[in-house]
Amino acid sequence: MNTSTATMETGDAERIGPAFSVDGMLAARNKTRQAIRDIAARVKPGMVEEDAVAMARQVLIDAGLALSWHPTRVRFGRNTIKPMRQASAPGVVLQENDIFFIDIAPRHDAWEGDGGAAFVVGNQDDYARCAQDAEAVFHAARRAWSEQRLSGEALYAFAEQEARKRGWELSFDLPGHRVSDFPHAAIHTGSLAEFDGVPSAMRWILEIHLRHPDHTYGAFFEDMLLEDSYYV
C-alpha cells in the first residue's frame, strides 16, 4: 500500500457524519455510563439472564435512550466467556457468588453510545480480579495509545500483552469499532484492531473481553477511546 492510499483509507475510517458533535457524543457516552450503573444496581442473585436483559432494555427506555445498533446484553456466569455474536446459553441464573457483565449500545438523539463493564456479586476473589483487570487493561492500553501514539493494531497487541501479564486471555471476538453520529456503519465497518493508523479520540470504541484460560468465566469493559482528562 502506498502512502497516499494509506492516508486516504485512514481518513475514510475516521470520517464523521453530518450530525457529529463533540457535545453530543460526550452526552451519549455519559448517559451510557449512567445506564450501566443503573442496570447493574438492579441485577441480583437469583435472576435469570433473560429477565436481566429485559430489565436492562426497560432501563434504557425509561432513560429516554433508543435501543440501538446491537442487542442489549447482560451476561451471567458461564455466558461471560461467549463471543458477543454467539447467543447466551438460555436459563442461566446469577448465583450468590458470581460474575456478570453489561454491554449496551443506546442512541441519544443523533449520537451513538456504547459501553460495558463487569460486576461481581458475593465474595469470589478471582471473579473480582477478572472484573477489575478488564478495566485495568482497558486503561493501560488507552494510556499507551495516548502516550505512544499507537495504531489500532499496536493498541490491541499491547492489550493482549497486558492481559497475559495478568493471567488472562484477550478474546479478539471484540476488536473495537468506530462510533459516530448514528449510524457509524454507514461510515466505517472495520475493526479498531485492524486499523493501521493512529486512532483519533472520540472516534473509536476500545473493547476488552478477558477470559480465564480454562474458559469458565470472563469479564468485559469498553468505552470510548479518550484521553486521561475524561476519566478524572
Query: Angle CA(103)–CA(118)–CA(42) in degrees, nearest 5?
Result: 80
Residue 39 has phi, psi (to 5 degrees) of: -65, -45
Average pLDDT over residues 212-228: 96
Nearest Cα to Cα of residue 65 among 57, 73, 53, 75: 57
Model confidence band, residue 198 (pLDDT cutoffs 50, 70, 90): very high
Average pLDDT over residues 3-22: 66
Give the pLDDT confidence score for residue 8 in this predicted structure: 31
Model confidence band, residue 186 (pLDDT cutoffs 50, 70, 90): confident
Give the pLDDT confidence score for residue 43 in this predicted structure: 98
Which position has the higher pLDDT, 18 or 78?
78
Strand segments (E) across the chain: 73-76, 98-104, 107-108, 111-112, 115-121, 169-170, 177-178, 204-211, 218-224
Reported as a single tens digit per residue, the pLDDT across 126-139 is: 999 999 999 999 99
Give the pLDDT confidence score for residue 5 in this predicted structure: 31
Residue 209: Cβ-neighbour burial (10 angstroms; 0-12, 13-18, 19+): buried
Q: Where are the domains of the chain?
A: 3-231
Q: Cell numbers at residue 196, please?
A: 493501521
Give the pLDDT confidence score for residue 75 in this predicted structure: 98
Reported as a single tens digit per residue, the pLDDT across 83-96 is: 988 999 999 999 99
Which CATH topology does 3-231 take? Creatine Amidinohydrolase (3.90.230)
CA contacts within 13 A on the Cβ side of 41? 7
